Amino acid sequence: MQDAFTNSMENQGSERQANVVIVRYGELALKSPGVRNWYEKILMKNIAAMLDSKGIPYSLMRREWGRIFIETTDPRAAGAAADVFGVVSTSSALITEPTLESAAGTCAILGKDLIREGESFAIRARRSGNHSFSSTDIGRACGDAVWNALEKEGKCPRVSLSSPDREIFVEMRQDLAYVYLETVKGVGGLPLGTQGNMVVLMSGGLDSPVAAWLMMKRGVLITPVYCNTSPYAEDAAKERAFDCIRQLQAWAPGHQFTTYEIPHGPNLRSFIDTCDRKNTCLLCKRMMYREAHEVMKKEGASGIITGSSLGQVASQTAANMHAEIYQLAIPIYHPLIAFDKNEIVDIARRIGTYDISTRSAGGCAAVPERPEVRANYDLIVLEEKKLDIKTLVSNALKAAKVLKL
């Protein structure tokens, strides 16, 4: 990303350019000292992995109270760091000495090229550490310097603190000062890897990749499980699911996913041949939970993630979702439970899975013409008594493939 800071310095032909990225985080600051220290170290490791994955060089990464600083001149760095879970915002900045004179001089250099004739400006200053001056003093000194520089350029400067056309930010800390022109919004959340591992049932549709991403945003590493329903689904369905997993992997450099492909078609055949046809989808979902639970135990994970959204499809009514988990002692997470479709689509577009998930892959041929929408939870258990559930689960897991996509 070519940011405003780089554009400004290039336009004026200056050799000075942004030489540090300021990384800000939110929730981490609320943790106890020991937990915060641990989270910050993981966050720095994840930022380094993201930069390395994009080939962005940096010479040093250091942390101070409430901030992480990445020393780099690559204009892509701020955008890359903003895509790391746990980061609230980033800014490409220029390092100066922590004095009024140095900060004012830097602001003047930037301001005379950034601010055009007729535009207003404002200085946004903040201060931390021990200084003989206040944030107001910083704003006044830097504002005067920019004003004088603009007048020398023959421009008529205007100051507007409420709605300026241009803003210059100054962050004065104890040992150094930082001047920057914009803030890149980060994804927020918690650093990936701080909340353990969970299995995610990945279908490749719109919902499950978004659900997985939202849990990753809360610091959860994921183990994707694809229940292959062939011959009741086309091969394109599997490719779509795997491509969604690859896209999610791009959000987690340094954390290689272990993906399980479990043959689920034989189990569907058993449901269709033996049980009431209207219950096929419910029996299918309960079996998927059991299969995912076996993976969960094998991987030492702590839960199963689904893309279920209440009432979105016939199988996701409140009664059906109750029946799906009845007597199953499995921790299941539904991060999309109260989301509507438009909200899910917006996130899918943002994270890069929308175009993949909307590719044509056909429907599931095992879905009954009139599926159950008001399931009686105890009747589903009676349906399962017609089957050898343990053997079905065991056979599916024996035939499972473990993949590194």
Q: Quick: pLDDT tens for 27-48.
A: 888 899 999 999 999 999 999 9
Of the candidates 327, 104, 100, 77, the residue with the CA atom closest to the CA atom of residue 184: 77
Q: How does residue 167 score in pLDDT terms, banded at 50, 70 and 90?
A: very high
Same domain, residue pair 16 and 92: yes
On whether residue 398 sits in a domain, the answer given is: yes
User: Is there a single domain that holds both residue 103 and residue 231?
Assistant: no
Mean pLDDT of 94-116: 95
**pLDDT at position 373, please?**
85
Residue 108 lies in a domain: yes
The percent of residues above 70 in pLDDT, for the chain, comes to: 96
In-domain check, residue 299: yes
Task: List CB contacts of 376: < 8 A, sequence separation 6 or more.
Answer: 319, 323
Orientation of helix 389-398 relative to helix 280-299, angle to 10°: 60
Identify whether the C-beta of residue 306 lies closer than 8 Å to the C-beta of residue 333: yes
User: What pLDDT sits at residue 6?
Assistant: 56
The verdict on 135 and 263 lying in the same domain is no
How many domains does the chain fold into?
2
Query: Looking at the predicted structure, is the pLDDT value of residue 105 above 90?
Result: yes
Are 132 and 260 members of one domain?
A: no
Pairing of strands 67-71, 166-172: unpaired
> Which position has the token pair 């979902």?
285
Kindly state whether residue 190 falls inside one of the protein's structural domains.
no
Q: Are residues 213 and 66 in the same domain?
A: no
In degrees, rounded to 5, the angle at the alpha carbon of residue 223 between the alpha carbons of residues 218 and 229 is 125
Per-residue model confidence as pLDDT tens digits over 137-165: 999 999 999 999 999 999 999 999 999 99
Kindly state whether residues 233 and 378 are assigned to the same domain. yes
pLDDT tens digits along 43-62? 999 999 999 999 999 999 99
pLDDT of 2 > 80? The answer is no
Q: Tell me: do 147 and 252 sit in the same domain.
A: no
Domain end, chosen from 185, 216, 235, is at 185
Averaged pLDDT for residues 126-136: 95
- What's the pLDDT score for residue 12? 40
Q: Based on the domain organization, do 257 and 390 belong to the same domain?
A: yes
pLDDT at 59: 94
Closest CA to 301 of 260, 267, 340: 260
Same domain, 220 and 332: yes
Same-domain status, 207 and 355? yes
The answer to whether residue 7 scores a pLDDT higher than 60 is no
Q: In the predicted model, what is the mean pLDDT of residues 222-234? A: 97
CATH number where 305 lies: 3.40.50.620
The pLDDT tens digits of the residues spanning 321-346 come to 999 999 999 999 999 999 999 999 99
Residue 215 and residue 173 share a domain = no
User: What's the pLDDT at 9?
Assistant: 46
Q: Which of 130, 150, 185 is the last residue of a domain?
A: 185
Task: For residue 71, give the CATH number of its domain.
Answer: 3.30.2130.30
87-96/184-185 β-pairing: antiparallel
372: left (phi over 0), alpha (psi -120 to 50) or beta: beta
Last residue of a domain, one of 151, 185, 219: 185
SS3 92: strand
- Calpha distance 38→34 (Å, rounded): 6
Residue 126 lies inside a defined structural domain of this protein: yes
The reply to whether 211 and 166 lie within a common domain is: no
Enclosing domain of residue 105: 4-185
If you average pLDDT over residues 288-294, what whole number do you get? 98
The pTM is what?
0.92
d(CA 324, CA 335): 17
The pLDDT tens digits for 342-353 are 999 999 999 999
Whether the ω angle into residue 231 lies within 30 degrees of 0, i.e. cis, is yes
Residue 61 pairs with which residues in a beta bridge? 70
